[in-house]
Copies of this chain bind each other. A is one copy, B any other.
Amino acid sequence: MLIRPAVASDANAIWGILEPIILAGETYPLPMDTSREEALAYWLSRENAVFVAEDNGEIVGTYYQRQNQKGGGAHVATCGYMTAPWASGRGVARAMCSHSLDRAKANKFRAMQFNFVVSTNARAIRLWQSFGFVMLGRLPVAFLHPTRGFVDALVMHRHLFDTA
């Protein structure tokens, strides 16, 4: 698994991953009818550092990292990760999360926060927990899941340095 910064020519591959996940509407608070242009503008926002995961030359995942807030909140990172549905089970998300933690530490972030982890996304929650993320809060009925109705979302957090 090679994780490298995304380049402009990765746009088609990135959209190929984003599209089925946005269409499913189960994990990200994005409209299911988000267009290619809107999705790429969101993912490749100039505030985001964007990476892709390659497995045998095929792009199978992508993630972004950015400051979660500006100004006095700029020392906390946030990320979004998407694994190609057809590459599930290969450890793509795990490799990207590990890479993103290393990258955040290298960039002197003091913590990483996920603002909106859909509570039915059990696999992702277990993965973040395995990396030391803890739940800071539960946002009640914050997400309308396409088949399960209103479900909670979690705020998850991990320190990257001592807070002393």
Give chain A's interface residues, CB within 8 Å of chain B.
25, 28-32, 34, 69-76, 110-111, 113, 115-116, 118, 136-146, 150, 153, 155, 157, 159, 163
- CB-CB nearest in chain B for A154: B137
Tell me whether B69 and A116 are in contact (CB under 8 A). Answer: yes
Partner of A142, one of B111, B116, B137, B150: B111
Label chain A's interface by main secondary structure.
Answer: strand
- CB-CB nearest in chain B for A150: B163
A150 to B163, alpha carbons, bound, how many Å? 9
Known: A25-B72, A73-B116, A76-B142. 5 other contacts (CB 8 A): A29-B69, A72-B143, A72-B145, A73-B143, A113-B139
The 4 closest A-B CB pairs, nearest first, are: A137-B137, A29-B73, A29-B69, A136-B137
Q: How many copies does the complex hold?
A: 2
> What are some 14 contacts across the A-B interface (CB < 8 A)?
A25-B71, A30-B70, A30-B71, A31-B70, A73-B142, A73-B143, A113-B142, A136-B137, A136-B140, A136-B155, A139-B155, A139-B157, A140-B157, A150-B163
Tell me whether A163 and B144 are in contact (CB under 8 A). Answer: no
**Chain B min CB distance to A96 (Å):** 22
- CB-CB nearest in chain B for A146: B72
A163 to B140, alpha carbons, bound, how many Å? 9
A70 to B115, alpha carbons, bound, how many Å? 13
A146 to B32, alpha carbons, bound, how many Å? 41
A141 to B146, alpha carbons, bound, how many Å? 35
A127 to B153, alpha carbons, bound, how many Å? 25
